[in-house]
Structure 1
């Protein structure tokens, strides 16, 4: 990456935003953005990863999801404020550059690109393992290759492909969660045929609401934070819609009820229906365990289908988001120029580069099938928190500048500014500190810290050199 970054000039701050979206099509419709915003919060982290949180925190996992959900609401509100004022395919990377300097945009942009590329590999492995379970005669690595080839190919053809796939994936996920919540409410009320209401027995009995103490609640908090990753993609996608300002504003304004219903509501349903320490919560997943308690035939396989959809949806979204982030960085002189070509409104070289690690994973999953998944998770575990930290700092600086220079752009406003911005930033630091304190997640903080330091040092050195260079 033989680039140098142009010196930061606040007076010309809109330029990076304009350049980042140049050459891209506007093939996403408002219905695509609405469903991406609604279904994008429903990922495999919720369906699978929440089991470890329930086992660690017990019923208090509801508090953990509510607390981390409040943090995410603030982050999305801040990001929405900046993205509605200056829509850009580089989203928070562009905002960080405008607020702090090119080194900050470089750092957070390539960090997020790394996160998404590794995420593609993780999701491909997870999806392949599910299909391998159904078809044990086929090797898992083959399905990694099939899924990678399919979604890489679809993203190369048209941004509309991404929008359509995400629309229907999201619709299926929302339908699954909606049906789960409906059945759960009926069961709790005691009106679901064949079931008796559990009352508050599972919530308050068996050790009480906080059975493992504060330490268990903190572990549950860490598990819940990971599940919220991916919400940021809607602000990247908005730059390729026909009305990005309205799309961002609508998506962000509905974040609160989406988090409250989908995450907090479904976790409350799970711990009400199933004893928190039941072994099937971690073995089968909390949602499959709850459906099984309701007597739903084939509950485990039903959830496997839903989880497969969630994984494929995340793969599709991450390839899209990574390619647009890379394209935006290159357009601002912060990456190899070879990735900056866009044909037919699609940054095809950026799509291929962003899919590259997923294809490498085909070999890695063949050589290290038992250890690769955990290694990849450790590699990027804390990156999303660093991204959120940059969002908070950028919003704090840009809000005052926008109020002075163009207050009419503040279509979305952060609540309680500047106090809630500081609270959100403190929350990010606190979660990172908890990760460093916990032995199981400490390695993730070390990986994240090393990546942040390396990219920040490189970005600052390139910024100091000034000018531009060919790639």
Structure 2
């Protein structure tokens, strides 16, 4: 099979689901726009960024700016390919068209695994908040409740998922905009009861780079993984009313806003608070900042926002996992049972993804010190593996599309191919940095084993499909003599 010709099974039409039972198209433009914005705004920003600030100090702003630039390039590349060929398998379909079925298989199932584990992790985080509000209640009951709610939501029409995500994302975006507004007023010294901090917190306590390049590296790695989730909008675009226009507009409007939210938030935090403040890592940077400014009930307000962020991520990840599984099955790269669609929804895939997510939660109770930790270590670097597939696929497909169907390039990657190569170099550099750090080195080992195993299986699946196709071509020629002329 030549790499220069797209496999027939990977050529999406309006969507890449089975033609006799297609996915529905119930998502509207407002859904896609908010999914694009809310998809990368999760608990990693609201809570996890505290540890990154503790490691990098004020230089966390630089770390988020560097990783944010990389994320914008990846999102632009993915937007270009998804606008040209909308598919519910998103980058998995693009990887198959560019590199062959083994690449689509590896990227697709790696991402499905990541999403299923993430569903469990987000469920655990949300349950911990509920236990704090209702002491004495078992956390697994809360996880089970959330699982049931979002499984039912995803089993219904896709517009229900869109509505949930629209309002979840609106609340998250609203919270960040309000935080930025309050922060800017405090920095300017016009917020009642506050004085302008100037640059004291940016240059004091060891300076802008208090822990040197090592601290910046830790902050950079944490910020890269916090940006995970941008892929959901291109998966959802295939089920929108106008897939091409929808993904193009969503990608264009989301990129700069994401940069403002992330980089702006970090700048506000480290300007208003000393990076050495213990509350930043313990309570989270948002809660610590609002407490410092004397905002009443700041902790409880942010707990509500964090809970919404976690529930939103659960909802989106169940959706993304089910659509990715359905797409892989439609391309004959997974169990047929997962591809069954009724009412425009891949309900078996939804149920399977939810069950595996809940199983990961149970592992956190049964095997917290080995199996669960192994799962945690693996999912971080999978994001980078997916981004590499996106960049390489765009490098191949852009040239092919310009040659064959240039009118499909509604969204174009900037300064192609130079910025695509810059993005790939950035990803390679992050892998090198991960290998240098003891805390992230084991992620590479675990992820390497997973992706290598999937690549081998994908190659074997590809070879079997090629042999089946070759046998189908040869079989008619082996018909008994004398039958060729009969009508």
Q: What TM bracket, shorter-length normalisation?
A: over 0.9
Is residue 33–residue 254 contact of structure 2 (8 Å, CA) maintained in 1? no
Partner in structure 2 of residue 3 of structure 1: none
CA 1:373/1:65 → structure 2, altered by over 3 Å: closer, same or farther? farther
Candidates 8, 16, 28, aligned match of 2:11:
16
Is residue 35–residue 171 contact of structure 1 (8 Å, CA) maintained in 2? yes
Q: Which runs of 5+ in 1 are unaligned?
A: 1-5
Is residue 16–residue 89 contact of structure 2 (8 Å, CA) maintained in 1? yes
Identify which range, 20-29 or 175-184, moves more after superposition.
Answer: 20-29
Partner in structure 2 of residue 377 of structure 1: 376
Shift of 1:42: 1.0
Q: CA RMSD in A?
A: 1.7
CA distance in 1, matches of 2:8, 2:416: 22
Larger Rg over CA atoms: 2
Partner in structure 1 of residue 303 of structure 2: 304
Partner in structure 2 of residue 120 of structure 1: 119
Instruction: Count matched residues.
Output: 464
Partner in structure 1 of residue 315 of structure 2: 316
For 1:137, what is the secondary structure of its paired residue? Answer: coil
CA distance in 2, matches of 1:322, 1:135: 31
For 2:16, what is the secondary structure of its paired residue? Answer: helix
Partner in structure 1 of residue 52 of structure 2: 53
Partner in structure 1 of residue 472 of structure 2: none
Shift of 1:255: 3.3
Shift of 1:282: 0.7
Q: Cα deviation per residue 1:93-139 (whole Å; 9 max; x = unaligned)?
A: 00000000000000000000001001101100000011011111201
CA distance in 2, matches of 1:355, 1:80: 28
CA 1:375/1:309 → structure 2, altered by over 3 Å: closer, same or farther? farther
Is residue 76–residue 255 contact of structure 1 (8 Å, CA) maintained in 2? no
CA 1:365/1:173 → structure 2, altered by over 3 Å: closer, same or farther? same
CA distance in 1, matches of 2:31, 2:221: 31
For 1:231, what is the secondary structure of its paired residue? Answer: coil
Q: Cα deviation per residue 1:160-184 (whole Å; 9 max; x = unaligned)?
A: 1110000000010011001100000
Shift of 1:259: 2.4
CA 1:9/1:153 → structure 2, altered by over 3 Å: closer, same or farther? farther
For 1:10, what is the secondary structure of its paired residue? Answer: coil
CA distance in 2, matches of 1:277, 1:228: 24
Query: Which of structures 1 and 2 has the larger relative contact order (alpha carbons within 8 angstroms, sep 6+)?
Result: 1
CA distance in 1, matches of 2:422, 2:6: 29
For 2:195, what is the secondary structure of its paired residue? Answer: coil
CA distance in 2, matches of 1:373, 1:449: 18
CA distance in 1, matches of 2:2, 2:382: 26
Is residue 142–residue 362 contact of structure 1 (8 Å, CA) maintained in 2? no
CA distance in 2, matches of 1:332, 1:132: 43
Partner in structure 1 of residue 144 of structure 2: 145
- What's the TM-score, normalizing by structure 1? 0.95
Shift of 1:402: 0.3
